[in-house]
Amino acid sequence: MLSFAKELWKFMRVRKKFWLLPILLVMVLFGSVIVLLKGNVVAPFIYTIF
């Protein structure tokens, strides 16, 4: 997992794709919330967002 993060950071730095960082952080945040809350409690809120 750490090598993937290093490679992703290297890609963003070389290709000047720093705009991807906030998108990836939000995706990781939503994913961790869903996993931690087991999806049942959060599901109605996720459906209203999208």
Does the pLDDT at position 48 exceed 70? yes
Task: Note if the pTM is more than 0.85.
Answer: no
Tokens matching residue 50: 């999208």
CA–CA dist 42, 38 (Å, integer): 8
Percent pLDDT > 90 in the chain is: 18
Let me know: does 6 contact 14? Beta carbons within 8 Å.
Answer: no
Does the pLDDT at position 42 exceed 70? no
Mean pLDDT on 3-8: 89
**Predicted pLDDT of residue 39:** 61
